[in-house]
Amino acid sequence: MEIESIIIQIDEPNIDIAQQPPQQEDDGESDEYDQVFQSTEFCRWRKNSPYLYNMLFYELLQCPSPTVQWLDYHTVKGDPKCDYYRLIIGTQGFDEFTGEHGGYEMGVRGSIHPYVPMYHVGDVNKARAMPQNTFKIASFSSTNDIFLFDYSKHPSKLNPDGISRPQAILRGHTDEGFALSWHPIQQGLLLTGAQDGKMCLWNVEKMSTAPVPTTPTNGIECNTILDPVETFDSERKLVDAIQWHPSHPAVFGAAAGSGTLLITDLRASSGSASLVESLFPSPTSSSKTLQFRVKVHSADCNCLAFHPINEYALLTGSDDTTIALWDMRNLSKEVRRFDQRHRDAILQIAWSPLAPSVFASSSADQHVCVWDLKSPDGVIFDHKGHDSRIPDISWHPTRPMIASVAEDSSFQIWEASAVENLINNV
């Protein structure tokens, strides 16, 4: 299996995972990984991992990546036993990602290759591909700017001059952020949220395409600067996550400071209603209002996830170590609260694209848990392969496989037997 990742500096790695018989852990790179992570919990997990996974790949990156996303890309090249996948990774640092890398062999032989590596100014806090055109990637930088890259316009090798050349720079935040969401239906609409407490709406389809000669400044060369179409004030100190509703084109949610969930309806916004009018007609009201501002946790709300099918279901995760399931028709009381498993802040949650009752959560406690709403115990699998905080996870769109990244520079792809069995029986 080969994975072509888009690593942002920006780099894009390519992971090549070819089917092979299970082998012993005798390769040098696996030994190197094990030498770095020697906690009691990791060593116990490492010993038991051959019995827990159908597929397990792990790699040490040169710098930690706070973001990962599968792209809907899968092909077979040459060898029918070799599958090629593509994903995005963004690193914290300016080192170049190079070379071909091998992975731990458990039923598969894995390697990861830079596919389209690109320089990035500042750390890559979050990176997400536009669903209608996955060549376009938005990345939130630690410099407060959002960069738009079209990796079809970049060479397969890093430019030797070290200059970052995004297709556009989006400027509107006064502090760095980690919240990005592309509109699932209308191409080019992007939402961002930051630690300045603001939420910005952008329309990248409106940017000029005429080339203008520029001189590189501070390591960056770009001829297009975009302002937000509209800015919303969360009235909180920070916005950690933001997401468009998958079935209501004019609605989005945000996870904010002080345990707050924000639900915004653009039909009540005079400045941007026209962007979604063809999808969701605007009422006569022209007042800018947040339809809901609800206290959902006792500490900062770090993440949220609308259900991909059930238009009313919503998950939130918090620094208070709990995950809550909500019905948007009644936000006064959670439907269910999951508070018995994670021991530290919930950093990311994501619904499975293959089973409507299954979701995954990553935490500062170094665990990724897979949950089933139909299970009395909740957790059906606990992934313990990382040795530090896990800021991001991503389900593969067509198979029960999860990619996860941690602050210890580890990057893993895994398919747990218990999760696959559950999803196959849905």
**Domain ranges (residues) in the chain:** 2-7+39-95+108-207+218-424
**Burial 110-122, CB ≥16 within 10 A → b, else e:** bbbbbbbbbbbbb
The pLDDT score that the predictor gives to residue 118 is 87
Question: Which of 157-171, 178-192, 304-318 is predicted least confidently?
Answer: 157-171
CB atoms within 10 A of CB 210: 6
3-state secondary structure of 41: helix
pTM, full prediction: 0.86
Which stretch, 80-84, 92-96, 220-224, has highest mean pLDDT?
A: 220-224
3-state SS string for 169-181: EECCCCCCCCEEE
Q: Do the beta carbons of residue 55 and residue 413 sit within 8 Å?
A: yes
Report the alpha-carbon distance of residue 231 to residue 144 in Å, rounded: 15
The pLDDT score that the predictor gives to residue 109 is 44
Percent with pLDDT over 70 in the chain: 79
Report the alpha-carbon distance of residue 349 to residue 346 in Å, rounded: 8
The pLDDT score that the predictor gives to residue 108 is 43
Look at 392 and 155; give whichever has higher pLDDT: 392
The H-or-E segment that residue 36 falls in is helix 28-36
Q: Among 3.10.20.440, 2.130.10.10, 1.10.287.130, 1.10.10.10, name the CATH number for the domain at 2-7+39-95+108-207+218-424.
A: 2.130.10.10
The pLDDT score that the predictor gives to residue 18 is 39
Given strand 313-318, what is the order of strands in its sheet? 301-306, 313-318, 323-327, 336-338
Alpha helices in 114-268 (DSSP H): none
User: What is the DSSP annotation of 187-217?
Assistant: TTEEEEE-TTSEEEEEEGGGS--S------B
Average pLDDT of the chain? 82
- For 244-256, what is each residue's pLDDT tens digit? 999 988 899 999 9
Banded model confidence at residue 3, pLDDT cuts 50, 70, 90: low
- For 191-243, what is each residue's pLDDT tens digit? 999 999 999 999 998 775 545 556 677 789 998 999 999 898 888 789 999 99
Q: What is the residue whose two structure tokens read 């709403």? A: 373
**Burial 235-256, CB ≥16 within 10 A → b, else e:** ebebbbbbbbbbebbbbbbbbb
**374 Cβ contact list (under 8 Å, min separation 6):** 357
The pLDDT score that the predictor gives to residue 92 is 62
The strand pairing partners of 70, in sequence order, are 87
Question: Which of 40-54, 78-92, 129-143, 164-178 is predicted least confidently?
Answer: 78-92
- Closest Cα to residue 139, out of 130, 43, 131, 77? 130
- Token pair, residue 417, equals 């037997």
Q: Do the beta carbons of residue 362 and residue 386 sit within 8 Å?
A: no
The pLDDT score that the predictor gives to residue 287 is 42
- Token pair, residue 305, equals 């996830």
- Token pair, residue 302, equals 């770090």
Average pLDDT over residues 22-41: 58
Banded model confidence at residue 104, pLDDT cuts 50, 70, 90: very low
**419 Cβ contact list (under 8 Å, min separation 6):** 358, 370, 380, 381, 400
Q: List for the chain the helix, strand, coil content (%; round to 5).
A: 10, 45, 45
Average pLDDT over residues 65-87: 81
